[in-house]
Amino acid sequence: MTVHTPIESRGSRIPPWALLLALVVAVTAGVYLVANLAGENPPLAIPGTTPSAPAGSAEPDPEVGQALINSATPACTACHGADLTGSGSFPSLHGVANGPVSENLQDLAAENPDNWAELWIAGEPGGPTDGIERFGMPAFADQFDANQIASMVAYLKTLP
């Protein structure tokens, strides 16, 4: 005799409610999948890395800019949506290459056609953006240097 004590079962039948539940769950997951076939994932925040423009480089790098946009605090995607196409009252950032996306920035762009976006993101006190209503948009001059902000704008200009 061995101490082998198997666990018995009252039955092996799968109750109909379980099959119905499986169907409901499968349909729900399927509907979610079909509704989310297309789109683009935001960049992954890689632990232990603080993306920055290459030291001494004056050339803005869109790839660095993409990583910076995700690492900003608050993240750009928190207000402008995961794919930066806008969310609620926050405007889309696609089409920045063609000019300002908001009414409040038209004058700034007219006076600074080459770097209006950099000025707006930096938002330095005493700068040309003083007096423009920011509608909750933070100033990032304390977080990023001019090279990094230029890289962020370079990335935004790649968005269609």
Partner 1 sequence: MTVNPGLNTRVNPKKLRPYDEPPKRRRSLIPGAPDSAATGFLVAALLWLALATGIGLLAALMRFVDFEFSIFISVPFLRFDVDFNRSLVDAAFANALVFGWLSNAGFAAATFMAPRLTGRKLFAEPLVVLGFLAWNSATLGGIALLYVFDQGPSSVLGSFPWFVEGGMAAGALIVAGSFLATVAPVLRSAYVSIWFAVIALLSVAGFTGLNALIGLLDYVIGLPDLAVALGTLLIDRATYLLWLLPMALASLYYVIPRATGQPLESNGLALLAFVALLVTAPVAVLSVAVDPAIPFLVTSAGSAATMALLFPIAITVVNLVLSTRGRWTLLFGTGPVAFAAVSMAFLLAAGMLDAIGTLGSVRDFVGGTDWVQGSQAWSLLGAFTFAGLAFSEHAISRVLHRDWGANVLSAAQLWSLFAGSTLAGVALMGAGMAEGAFRARAADAETIAAGVLGYHLVAFVGIGLAAIGGLAALANIFLAYTSGRPVQRAAPAQPAAASAGGH
Query: 133: which 2 tokens?
Result: 């209503």
Residue 47 binds to partner 1 (criterion: CB under 8 A): yes
Q: How many C-beta atoms surround the C-beta of residue 63 within 10 A?
A: 13
Q: How far is the CB of 131 from partner 1 (least distance, A)?
A: 18
Helices 62-71, 146-156: inter-axial angle, 10-degree rounding: 100
Q: Is 8 a residue that touches partner 1 (CB under 8 A)?
A: yes
Please report how many Cα atoms fall inside a 13 Å half-sphere around the Cα of residue 71, on the Cβ side.
Answer: 19
**Binding flag, residue 13, partner 1 (CB under 8 A):** yes
Residue 125 CA to residue 143 CA, distance in Å, equals: 14
Q: Does 20 bind partner 1 (CB under 8 A)?
A: no
Interface with partner 1 includes 89 (CB under 8 A)? no
Residues that bind partner 1 (CB under 8 A): 1-15, 18, 21-22, 25-26, 28-30, 32-33, 36-49, 66, 73-75, 77-79, 81-82, 136-138
